[in-house]
Structure 1
Amino acid sequence: MLGLGIALLIGMVGASLWLVEKNDNYSRETADLRRIRSAILDVLTTLQDAETGQRGYLLTRREDYLAPYREALQTLAEKRERLVASVQNKPIYTGKLPVLQTAIDAKIAEIGRTIDLVNAGRIDEAIDIVRADTGLIYMQEIRNTLDEFQDVTDDRLRVIVNDQLQAADNLRWVTIGGAIAIIAVVGGALFLIAKYVGELMRSREEVDSLNRGLEERVNERTRDLIRANQEIQRFAYIVTHDLRAPLVNIMGFLSEFEASLKPIESYVLADGATLSENEIRDARLAVKEDLPEAIGFIRSSTRKMDQLINAILKISRDGRRKLQAEKVDLKELLAVAAASVQHQVSAVDGEIDVNVQPFTVISDRISLDQILGNLFDNAVKYQMKGRPLRISARIMPQGRGIVRLDITDNGRGIAEDDLERIFELFRRAGDQDQQGEGIGLAHVRSLIRNLGGDITVASELGKGSTFHLTLPTDLRKITRGNDI
């Protein structure tokens, strides 16, 4: 046993050294990716500064507006070299470098040509070049390429961070295992000296029993961690996708806004020159229609982003709220939730059946109120038109400190493909004839999982749904000494 323990310790030390080396490799790659990201932003910012100087000089003909352009010219070559050096030997970047270099050269040449024309007094020719949108096309190509570089970099950073966290977690378990192994080796050696063979056999049985319990708890925690990690990944994808959509709209209409300014700029800067009827018409059309339309779409997109962010903050605040474990009668909570929608159910000749036996749990009353209230509200909101609404509830103890609560309705039901989707943030299923942001059931799942439980749904489209809630009967045992 002593030899086995030593061999185990040596193996754990070797595993620890390997994990440390792996973490070092991740750290070095992370540093490289951060340098690439910095180089990408430096090149893009420098080109934007050059373009800003060009536009300012074309509009004002003041030399001080050329300062950003000249400074950009002085530093651009060095920053381009730094970017190229950062991504060398990385095919995922180098394949796009020639396109990027060509676009940068073309953009700088276009900017320099317009400035030279202004210096030569040929202002109209310079403005014509800008209006031709060639510089805009070059800049868009540069942005697209650099955005692809940055997306690739960010994706790799996310992978590395996840891998590094996993390696750190493995290192922690190896360390814990090493500590346990040391204790077992030392204790076993002392035990062999002090006790008889019979006592040692009984001790082995006890250790085996403890190990089985530990393995069960480790498996349980592993499942919880996997589920939490999947939820985080799904949440991150949904949030970035839904927030990106209005942002893309804003960017698009800002471009339209910028394009609409050009005829107005020509009209305002005419300086006594005679404008054609088309130019006057375009300027008036931009003021009357294009600009208000762009502003309206931008406003609606920012309002949408604000609503999404507020929804995220609501769930975040509830997740951080300090839970209060107290005795709660589930029958009483069901009666309160039913009373809150009774007038709406009665209005369609419906009925609510919450005639259940009293059942007391130790949990957070506010969270349970929000969960049941949301489910009853949803049953009313998504009832089947023309059919009296029926809502019922059942309480079923599941043993081992778990109780199940079923909420059933005869509403519209949910399609099979949407049974899991309805619990995702900002996701809704079926016909959307009701107001909402799609956070209700996501909020419910977040609340009940904070209480150590879970929620699932069984449904048939057109016939109704049953939401199954599982809940620990004592929240204090789930928290295991954490500050509730």
Structure 2
Amino acid sequence: MKAPTLLPLDKDKHFGRLVIIFVSVGFIAIFAAGLAAAFAVQRNSEHTAWLIHTYDVERAIGRVDSAVQSMRFARRGYLLDRRPAIREDYAEARGDLQRAIDRVAELTRDNAMQQRLIPQVRALAREMDAMLLFTMAEADAGRMTGIGRRAGDAGSADVSSRIQKATAAMLAEEQRLLGQRVRAQQSSITLFYWALGLGGILLFFVAIGSVATIRHYTSGLMRSRNQLRVLNEDLEGAVRVRTIDLQRANDEIQRFAYIVSHDLRSPLVNVMGFTAELDAATHSLRALIDRAEAEAPAIVTEEARLAAREDLPEAIGFIRTSTQKMDRLINAILRLSREGRRTIAPETLDMVGMFQGVADTLRHRTEEVGATIRIADDLPPMVSDRLAVEQIASNLVENAVKYLRRDRPGIIEVTGQRRGLRVLYQIKDNGRGIDPKDHERVFDLFRRSGEQDQPGEGIGLAHVRALAYRLGGTITVASQLGEGAVFEVNLPAVFAGAGEKDR
């Protein structure tokens, strides 16, 4: 009989190197994405500050024009009705004009072109003020005629027009700067999006590669176990040697799985943290876009609006979904690793009571789908590890309930018998069934078959088989599509430790 081919040591080394590569690439991706995102956020903050500065300058220039008009209206009102209150309104408007010009000068001190226009505006403001004050003084002295009033109106209108031309030039310059700053901000948003997307894609492929490597390694180990079980009937001595080798390989894969899972969790936590920070940053971007749309909708492009409201949230959701899936897979690997290291504690088990307890926990589900669980009252007891056997029973019965057909009442039957030094338990259902080509596949880690309309990661049956092997037993399935399935668990009636063999 051909001896089983166990996993060679060089494959362990290759696996270790792959794990180190994946972890390193994941860490580098997180670090690079974090740096790029931080740089993009910092650049965006700078551009936002300049945009706000531009709005402040435009508002200050607008106050200059408003103050000029207020002075002209106050002067005209004073000529019609020379009340002191109107003269006070004129003085207040003149003060507003001076303050507005000072504010514009302060805000544009870094702009040489604007600074050249400030003295011109000040001179025109003084000229208009002198002209308006002169006409009001003439009116106070009673020397104001209709012709003089019209001449004063024409002169003040001319000066006001020149002031408006100067402020229009200043506004045009601010509009030019605003366009440059908006384009710079859009560039920083685009950089932020690319950094986020590329980092997420790289991490996704790192996760896929890590899981594929671990699954490939675990599948090789499972095949070695199956080959060892076949040789168990005729080659007791060879089995003993192979068992030692297999146990060593099993310990090694459990150790690797534990180390890998912990090493992968560290960068994964960083990814989740950075994703949360990036998600918070998008709120500020959306708030800025909302404000820009409210105050100056012409400067907001469709690309910027889509980037802030759709593209960035979609990219963050993609990363979050990928990291959550990777977290579930890592937890599954850790659970299998811990189960392999747990100490077996044999005790006498009442299998009728155990299966009945499982049925009671699933009662709400069976009542919901109209299913019935029938447990034979002559299930043979056994001496084994309670926690492991409970997990086997729970997984198998729960799977049977989960994959029942909707077009007929579900029936699940649990039977058992003693056969020499071993006990056999069968869990039979009338559910969907399993295609014969998938009978072995369903026991592989992270593998599923049939319609994928039920939650799960393909872990349950792999865990059941690992537990059965740990207890010195096996599990098999007989099924046809649409005709239900029968899972049979073969275990020692009395667990005898690591030396227990099939009889």
TM-score (norm 2): 0.46
TM-score (norm 1): 0.48
- Give the greater-gyration-radius structure (CA): 2
Q: Which has the higher contact order (CA 8 A, sep 6+)?
A: 2
